[in-house]
Amino acid sequence: MALNFLKFEKNKVKAATFLTDGCGSSTVCGSFGAELALGKTPDELVEITGETILKILGKFPEENRHCAFLAADTLQDAFNDYMIKGTISQEERN
């Protein structure tokens, strides 16, 4: 299992954390994904993919490449959750 948490300020990611109970490769990829998210706008955030993470890591074992894609997916899930909660909060204020 893997989870990402994002905090936005002024339309940019101010804080990003990653939590996993997976293998070391999952931890490395999740950590890089969280680092990549820092300072990104929503439009830039959606561009972070498993391939993006793998490019930064450079050489990575073939059998563990899927960890980069899982990390990117959890990052996108966190962003989607943030957007849903943001939308709900705006509706409740009106």
With contact defined as beta carbons under 8 Å apart, do 63 and 52 qualify? Answer: no
Tell me the torsion sign for CA atoms 61, 66, 69, 71.
negative
The parent domain of residue 49 ranges over 2-93
Q: For 32-74, what is each residue's pLDDT tens digit?
A: 999 999 999 999 999 999 999 999 999 899 999 999 999 999 9
- How far apart are the C-alpha atoms of 41 and 9, rounded to whole Å? 10
Q: What is the arithmetic mean of pLDDT over 6-18? A: 91
CA atoms within 13 A on the CB side of 14: 5
With contact defined as beta carbons under 8 Å apart, do 57 and 28 qualify? Answer: yes
Tokens of 72: 């990117």
Domain count, the chain: 1
Q: Which pTM value belongs to this model? A: 0.84
**Residue 82 banded pLDDT, cuts 50, 70, 90:** confident
Quote the mean pLDDT of the chain. Answer: 87
What CATH number did the domain enclosing 54 receive? 3.90.1010.10
Neighbours of 61 (CB within 10 A): 8
